[in-house]
Structure 1
């Protein structure tokens, strides 16, 4: 609730700042229009109109900059809230899909037999497929655990799935998922991973970075131009993960 109140407060602040700027904008527009209509051949009149226009242009740039900063901040806070709401969730890929299946039972079978854990139906709050049914691929499973501890136990044990067709990944927001895919396509699969919704990147020179959005990622991509032919297979696999981008209904 505190986070939501903070976002609403920022939006109200944006409106309060925008109103006087809007009034000033209209006033300047009317003044410039009146001067243009009354302008004669005198050079000083034309120069004055030009100066008024420059002032107006600077005002508009200031307004647009303010709006951009406010929108970016509101978007960041909303993304943070959405990430926190997903802290008990994971996505499991690679499990064959059947009509009338028991999603929870399928997940428990993987967790208990392949990961060596001892989970029951009470360990999972909700489980369902993401996206629309397709004959081309098996839809990923979204798992909402009963507790953060349950989720972390599965996350730490996921390395036991190496060599199988099953994979487990975090349920990232759309913004973070886009940034993650872009980073993997640029740096390769082994140089990018996520932990608690944060994207970790290992650059070619060994430097490490943490990002949560494409805005934060872009300067890093500029600093490290992509090597020719780098991880084309990784890019293909990353693109397939966009299936999990669909936002599920919270239960």
Structure 2
């Protein structure tokens, strides 16, 4: 189709089969508005948002698909390959030689697509959890094992309640593996930059508070008897 916009300096237009790249890079919250017209071909038009620098990973809006030109969808792209439809809509026909007002509202957590003032696609990303907790019991040593991963860049403060156990010892062991950032890694020069450290802890109980450091994997070994 043909793209015309007042979002940048002057008017921009794109002929059939060509692509338009905005000069500026937008991050955080932004709204893109433009006018679009289909001038030929079977399909409608496409918009790419949140793309990586190499143009292979991100999101693509397909508008006016199929022979009926009434299907719209948002797809996830990864390394140049389609990784599934995130949301879809049917019923909005893209007609030939008709101008449409398009608005795309984007934030780090949400993206909305409007045509002529009506939202036809909306997607809210599901954030990956940054804390993982697993527990079990070491029968040979009589210890409750609690494993906690904190992948966030801030301290994870929580209260741990021990149910189904008795005679919980106040003193126990902590084994921690921490990094100063998500990009830290071991090297030949620093082979133990990220390395487990064991320490004593005297605050265990039926219910206790614990602060898990940023970018950490922590194992709590609590002496206890299972009921």
Fold shared per TM-score above 0.5: no
Higher strand share: 2
Higher helix share: 1
Larger RCO: 1 or 2 (CA < 8 Å, sep 6+): 1
Q: TM-score, normalised by structure 1?
A: 0.19
